Amino acid sequence: MNTAYKNTIGILFLAFFMALAGCASTKTGESTGEFIDDTVITANVKSALLADKTTPGLSIEVETFKGRVQLSGFVDSPLQAKNAETVASRVKGVKSVINNIEIKKDAAR
């Protein structure tokens, strides 16, 4: 092999391993694969909430990080908040659910 060819191969391997390092996850960041998985989980949870008759799916925000789903928003009753958590926890890929849904104050009257 000539020197130019060896250098080109070496540069390609170096670029490949640097790209792999850039895709690794950390405590505060996700790899590309994790980001895609979380995007799919978020979409599936949102779809499940919209399809469920016991939850006001349009009023609930969904965020996912490394399989942990966070629900937020405002609903009319504690039962709706609990049902939303149950629906989200049943979606494939969900590791845990953080329920930050709040009850509307005027709905409690």
pTM value? 0.70
Residue-wise pLDDT tens digits, 25-72? 555 566 777 778 899 999 999 999 999 999 999 999 999 999 999 999
Q: How far apart are CA 23 and CA 47, in angstroms?
A: 28
The structure tokens 């391997």 sit at 13
- Number of CB atoms found within 10 A of residue 69's CB: 24
Element (H, E) at 2: none
Residue of 36 and 98 predicted with greater confidence:
98
Strand-by-strand arrangement of the 60-65 sheet: 60-65, 68-75, 96-103
Please answer whether residues 103 and 81 qualify as being in contact, where contact means their C-beta atoms are separated by less than 8 angstroms: yes
The pair of structure tokens assigned to 22 is 């850039």
Angular region, 67: left φ>0, alpha ψ -120 to 50, beta rest: left
Domains of the chain: 25-108 (3.30.1340)
Please answer whether residues 48 and 87 qualify as being in contact, where contact means their C-beta atoms are separated by less than 8 angstroms: yes
Q: What is the pLDDT of residue 104?
A: 92
